[in-house]
Amino acid sequence: PLPLVIDTDTAQDDCVAILVGLLDPEADLRAITMVAGNVGFDKQVKNAWMTLNVADRLDVPVHLGCRRPLVREWVSAENVHGDGGGGLAIDESGLAPQPEHGVDALIRLAAESPGELTIVCIGPLTNIAMAIIKDPGFVTNVKSLYIMGGSNNARGNITAAGEFNFYVDPDAAKTVFAAGFADIVVVPWAPLTLVDGVFSRDEIARIAAVGTPLARFVVRVCEATLAFDESVGIMGSTHPDSLTAAVLLHPELISASSRYAVDVEADSELTRGYSAMSWGVHGLEPNATVVEAVDRLAFLEYLIGLFGTATTPPRP
Ligand code: BDR
Ligand code: CA
């Protein structure tokens, strides 16, 4: 199995991505690191524990990372996500995060097995940028970064140009793409997620029909954002984060990808977080592979299979 860490602002599809990391036999999920993003930091931690609990995997260490972006004020997506965890109750009395900071955990885990650790980055990139700044060996110790963020058609979701993860901490995103990682794979918001990462209400009903507690949890999490998605013309729930984890573990889901020189706008307010993806005619060296199309139905079947075979009972 592939050693990995999920760096997350846990709400909605972050929960599904964590389940992918927990349930897929190809994955060896070593830790979860938390970063400021979608909803209040403590709610995010609760959502991560709720997800681990549903899969009966509270043994996975949760490390608290950066509580705000590098230099900007935190911006939330609470209008989209609500509390983001599907509203399940969890008794937190016996739960505690690891004493080690999330950035230090990333640095340590990468250093413990140089060239082997993959980080699935499904929130703002603050923790990754901090690890780069703190440890000169971090960039070469990491095998791969799988990053959910940006768009390669200039279609943002928080502003016209800005996708949420890059918008919240554009300085961090810019730092990461300039750092010289050997392998970066980007799962963009648009067009990819909006085309191949949306499940309709009928398809969500198929997940519900699986009938396991895990499937029920996923449906609750999907439903939490459906009303918002439909209000902006997206006819279903969006799955950028779980898609990022899925293409890491099953690259055969990818039907098109290209190498790009990716950079992120961190000066302009109008285009804050915009991801410039230069495709080769501008003389820039590519620094990332951008996923451009996946087999949407195979992705859905994959998730249905994961939630159907797992038999772990929930602990409400
Ligand atoms: C990204 O922003 C968050 O709201 C989602 O969890 C996803 O990581 C999409 O822009
Ligand atoms: Ca996320």
Report CA(86)–ligand 1 centroid distance (Å): 16
Residue 159 pLDDT exceeds 60: yes
pLDDT at position 310 = 53
pTM over 0.90? The answer is yes
Report CA(10)–ligand 2 centroid distance (Å): 6
CA-CA-CA-CA dihedral for 228, 239, 198, 163, to nearest 10: 60
The minimum-distance atom of ligand 1 relative to the CA of 122 is: 8
pLDDT at position 77 = 83
pLDDT at position 308 = 85
- For residue 38 and ligand 1, the question of a CB distance below 6 A is answered with yes
User: Which segment, 86-90, 293-297, 306-310, is predicted with the most confidence on average?
Assistant: 293-297
- State how far the Cα of 250 lies from the Cα of 248, in Å rounded to an integer: 6
276 pLDDT tier (thresholds 50, 70, 90): very high
- For residue 77 and ligand 1, the question of a CB distance below 6 A is answered with yes
For residues 176-196, average pLDDT? 97
Give burial (CB, 10 Å; 0-12/13-18/19+) of 246: buried
For residues 295-302, average pLDDT? 97
Report CA(281)–ligand 2 centroid distance (Å): 32
- State how far the Cα of 185 lies from the Cα of 39, in Å rounded to an integer: 25
Residue 225 pLDDT exceeds 90: no
For residues 46-71, average pLDDT? 96
pLDDT at position 86 = 64
Contacts of 306 (CB under 8 A, 6+ apart): 19, 20, 23, 24, 214
154 pLDDT tier (thresholds 50, 70, 90): confident
**Residue nearest (by alpha carbon) to ligand 1 atom 4:** 38
**Which of 42-46, 80-84, 89-93 comes out lowest in average pLDDT?**
80-84
**Which of 30-44, 68-82, 228-242 comes out lowest in average pLDDT?**
68-82
- For residue 76 and ligand 1, the question of a CB distance below 6 A is answered with no
Report CA(151)–ligand 1 centroid distance (Å): 12
- For residue 240 and ligand 1, the question of a CB distance below 6 A is answered with yes
- State how far the Cα of 262 lies from the Cα of 22, in Å rounded to an integer: 30
pLDDT at position 80 = 77
Q: Kindly provide the ipTM of the predicted complex, given to two decimals.
A: 0.98
315 pLDDT tier (thresholds 50, 70, 90): very low
The closest alpha carbon to 215, from 204, 200, 201, belongs to 204
Report CA(212)–ligand 2 centroid distance (Å): 24
For residues 61-81, average pLDDT? 92
Residue 314 pLDDT exceeds 60: no
Query: CB count, 10 Å around CB of 243?
Result: 29
| 8 Å CB contact between 156 and 274 | yes
**Which of 73-77, 88-92, 128-132 comes out lowest in average pLDDT?**
88-92
